[in-house]
Structure 1
Amino acid sequence: MVAKNRISGIICEFNPLHNGHAALLKHLRQDADDRTVCVMSGNFVQRGEAAVLDKWSRTRLALENGADLVLELPLPWAMAGAERFALGGVSLLAALGGVDRLAFGSECGETTPLLRIAEYLLSPQFSADIRPHLAAGLPFAAARGKAIEKALGADCAALNEQPNNILGIEYCKALTKRGSMITPYTIPRVAVGHDAQNVSGRFASASLLRRLSAEGEDISPFVPENTNARIGELRGEKRYPANIRYLERAVLAFLVTLSPERLRTVPDVSEGIENRILAAAGTAPSLEALYDAVKTKRYSHARIRRIVLSAFLGLTDDLPATLPYLRVLGMNERGAEILRTAKPTLPYVTRPADVKKLSADAQRIFALEARADDLYGFCTEHRRPAGLDYTEKLIRL
């Protein structure tokens, strides 16, 4: 029996929103009463990069393609590894209240094996099983795979090697840790994988589309018409695609002024990696060269990018550990109804005046977000004005 007035949550980046994303949004609208809430990263994303489209454009595109309400995942969680990223998104949906299921694409298209792996990863057995592999010098991801294979078999270990499955497992872990009543719901990822550099019909991965956009290629066959139109508008204004390379020298200059003690306060820094970063920053001609020089078996490119960008954006490990507010970026009438009937456990931020009512910790997070968005304004050939987090209006469709 299909639930009426069901609310589905999606944790997303929409970087950019492509045909696969549109297909998921359409799929979730199985009944006229179904509604969808998106928890979306802001202008900087999990890979330690600038989003190619600004968050206001992506919010409008999400609403035009089937979302009803778009909430912003605050910067410290949007810029984190998969575990913290997933926990932040799940926590926002739980704080909103009334969300029935968390929807995501995965390579396997089944929640049962993902939940099984998640439960194992949260168990004391996993902590014991992974220890000898780490002691042997394996990177954490490889050691985790070895532990899963021993405990659950080769099939589960294979699932854990696929990027969307991995994120799905983290969603399941977050739901389990919170004891949430939200149900995980997955559908097979349409046609192409997360980082695939090939196309299948009208479908292509977001990473491929970002690369093609950076090279000036036409991506219109693989994105909804409104995404293509917005890209065209911003490209004409020389504000698409956004890329951290416009801030490259500023980031490198910032790094050479840092002390090891200051860099050690950045989230995810450990094992002396700060010394490798600062040494590379002294001579690296580009950020890519720095990442290549610093990369180790234990530190992936993505993790190094996050550390470097987190340092530049002012993130520190003494920030509040829990989400401080529900920032509403946009909604339609159905989304407004969700807000009217919800019983949130966090305060809403729908306009700049709401920020003044927040706690000191919450205001600190919002100020960091606003500062980051001002820096994002320099990530395109023609910069955007500063202060948009305090002046841009809530998007209503």
Structure 2
Amino acid sequence: MSEPTNFCGIICEFNPLHFGHSEIITRAKSIAPVVCVMSGNFVQRGEPAILDKWSRTRLALQNGADLVLELPLPWACSGAENFAYGAVSILNSLGLSGTLLFGSECGNAVILEETAGILLSKRFAAMLTQELESQKNSFAATREKTLLLHFGKKYAEILQKPNNILGIEYIKAIKNLSADLKPLSIARLGAGHDTTALAGEFLSASEIRQHILEEKDISNILPQNTASLLTELISRGEAPHTIDSIERAILACLRQMTRSDFAALPDISEGLEHKLFTSIQKAKSLEEVYILTKSKRYSHARIRRLVMSAFLGLRSNLPKRPPYIRVLGMNQTGETLIRKAKLTLPLAVRPSDFKRLGDDALMLFELEANADNLYALSSPTISSCGNDYTQPIIKL
């Protein structure tokens, strides 16, 4: 008999919420009440989310989620390891045993756990350090090569798919935090990341975003409530949010920064600040910044995140893990779950809660609120500031 679980966690962006997301929520719902840890208005791609976090919270609840918690900005805009660590730490802070459900290309938590165990071992760490010192490939490519050389094709191939990698990082975070979470993976539904869907497949989020930007019909490629809300917000000029709308604002910010400013960014290393600074002096567009800075060692995705971190005011002197649990939305089941929880972090719902907590919590909330003010510039019609101070939590 399986061990009881108090909740089923999903770590997500819902950018936007599509049929694949709806299916995984339904699967989670069959296990236990569903707790989503969701990125706010900026996502891991180093871009604004196409829909604001309050709209995505409402859609999550309408599609079966019971409680939606915010993954704070520094972790939402980070690479896979920090993204996973921040989200898992929030689920762990509920103080309840739970299940973490996620999609992966392999759909097999056992092989992902085995791979995570290897990556966390001292033996592998020593091998990886030696390989990194002897070549100039990216960390990801060197890690995969090290696995292939010393542990075989079975594990190396797992690292070739993005959702497998994210699943491994979830499991590593569970192990590092000694979290009372059981990882459960199902085969990823629909088209692969950044690929075109085949006949009968669910479209990937990236392909759906492209449909939206090209003003194509979205009524049949999204759940009805997502399509309806998107259509309504687009008609009012409140969506889609795009990086193109704030490109000049980002470039203006970057051109005012010094080498020392870039050196203070999170995830900067090996003199990358100098290459980024030089690229920005030459570039006439964000895409040109990415291209000029990218190399075998530094991926396009990493450069995008660094650029967004610079624009949003993120610096390396941030806490290692989120210092609070912020509720974006819930239904009655979610409210019951919060009352049942044995919280190991303070709960924050209103702006006054952050002021009372002070220190890291207040600093991060103010950083989030400032980022959301900049997010308000990224829609077709510019909206006013202060939404984080005035928007109540979504209750269904």
Counterpart selection for 1:66 from 54, 64, 67: 64
2:192 maps to amino acid: G
For residues 294-345 of structure 1, what are the alpha-carbon distances to aligned partners after superposition, in whole Å with 9 as ceiling and x for unaligned? 1111111111111011011111111222211100000000000011110111
Counterpart selection for 2:51 from 37, 53, 58: 53
Contact (CA 8 Å) 1:374, 1:386: kept in 2 or not? yes
For residues 27-48 of structure 1, what are the alpha-carbon distances to aligned partners after superposition, in whole Å with 9 as ceiling and x for unaligned? 11225xx200000000000110
Q: Helix, strand or coil: the match of 1:96?
A: coil
1:10 maps to amino acid: I
Cα distance in 2 for partners of 1:287, 1:173 equals 33
Which residue is 1:244 aligned to?
243
Which residue is 2:384 aligned to?
385
CA RMSD of the aligned region, Å?
A: 1.4
Cα distance in 2 for partners of 1:390, 1:2 equals 43
1:267 aligns with 2:254: no
Which residue is 1:324 aligned to?
323
- Within a 5 Å distance, the mapping from 1:270-285 to structure 2 comes to 270-285=269-284
Higher mean C-alpha displacement, 137-146 vs 198-207:
198-207
- Within a 5 Å distance, the mapping from 1:162-241 to structure 2 comes to 162-201=161-200, 203-241=202-240
Cα distance in 1 for partners of 2:295, 2:127 equals 23
Contact (CA 8 Å) 2:107, 2:187: kept in 1 or not? yes
What count of residue pairs does the alignment treat as equivalent? Answer: 395
Q: Helix, strand or coil: the match of 2:282?
A: coil
Contact (CA 8 Å) 1:92, 1:326: kept in 2 or not? yes
Contact (CA 8 Å) 2:28, 2:34: kept in 1 or not? yes
Higher mean C-alpha displacement, 232-241 vs 142-151:
142-151
Q: Helix, strand or coil: the match of 2:357?
A: coil
Which residue is 2:21 aligned to?
21
1:82 maps to amino acid: A
Q: CA deviation at 1:4?
A: 5.8
Which residue is 1:147 aligned to?
146
Higher mean C-alpha displacement, 22-31 vs 196-205:
196-205
- Within a 5 Å distance, the mapping from 1:107-118 to structure 2 comes to 107-118=105-116
The verdict on how the C-alpha distance between 1:366 and 1:166 changes in structure 2, with shifts beyond 3 A counting, is: same
Cα distance in 1 for partners of 2:159, 2:321 equals 27
Which residue is 1:302 aligned to?
301
Contact (CA 8 Å) 2:96, 2:180: kept in 1 or not? no
Q: Helix, strand or coil: the match of 1:221?
A: coil
Q: CA deviation at 1:194?
A: 2.3
Which residue is 1:119 aligned to?
117
Higher mean C-alpha displacement, 224-233 vs 128-137:
128-137
Cα distance in 2 for partners of 1:101, 1:294 equals 40
Cα distance in 2 for partners of 1:182, 1:247 equals 39
Counterpart selection for 1:98 from 96, 99, 119: 96
Cα distance in 2 for partners of 1:231, 1:306 equals 26
Contact (CA 8 Å) 1:267, 1:316: kept in 2 or not? yes
Displaced runs of 4+ in structure 1, greater than 6 A?
none
1:86 maps to amino acid: A
Q: Helix, strand or coil: the match of 1:327?
A: strand
TM-score by length of 2: 0.97
Cα distance in 2 for partners of 1:341, 1:196 equals 42
Cα distance in 1 for partners of 2:181, 2:165 equals 19
TM-score by length of 1: 0.97
For residues 104-152 of structure 1, what are the alpha-carbon distances to aligned partners after superposition, in whole Å with 9 as ceiling and x for unaligned? 0011111111001101111111112223432122221111111112333
Structure 2 unaligned runs (5+)? none
Q: CA deviation at 1:202?
A: 5.3
Higher mean C-alpha displacement, 62-71 vs 347-356:
347-356
Q: CA deviation at 1:179?
A: 1.5
Cα distance in 1 for partners of 2:199, 2:11 equals 24
Higher mean C-alpha displacement, 72-81 vs 130-139:
130-139
For residues 41-98 of structure 1, what are the alpha-carbon distances to aligned partners after superposition, in whole Å with 9 as ceiling and x for unaligned? 0000011000000000000000000100000000011011100000000000001122
Contact (CA 8 Å) 1:9, 1:99: kept in 2 or not? no
Contact (CA 8 Å) 1:39, 1:70: kept in 2 or not? yes
Contact (CA 8 Å) 2:5, 2:97: kept in 1 or not? no
Q: CA deviation at 1:3?
A: 5.8
The verdict on how the C-alpha distance between 1:179 and 1:200 changes in structure 2, with shifts beyond 3 A counting, is: farther
Cα distance in 2 for partners of 1:309, 1:330 equals 26
Which residue is 2:9 aligned to?
9
Contact (CA 8 Å) 2:197, 2:203: kept in 1 or not? yes
2:26 maps to amino acid: K
Contact (CA 8 Å) 1:19, 1:202: kept in 2 or not? no
Cα distance in 1 for partners of 2:287, 2:302 equals 13
1:133 aligns with 2:103: no
Structure 1 unaligned runs (5+)? none
Identity of aligned residues (%): 49
Q: Helix, strand or coil: the match of 1:321?
A: coil
Q: CA deviation at 1:2?
A: 5.7
Contact (CA 8 Å) 2:190, 2:197: kept in 1 or not? no
1:287 aligns with 2:286: yes
Cα distance in 2 for partners of 1:346, 1:157 equals 37
1:338 maps to amino acid: L
Higher mean C-alpha displacement, 185-194 vs 87-96:
185-194
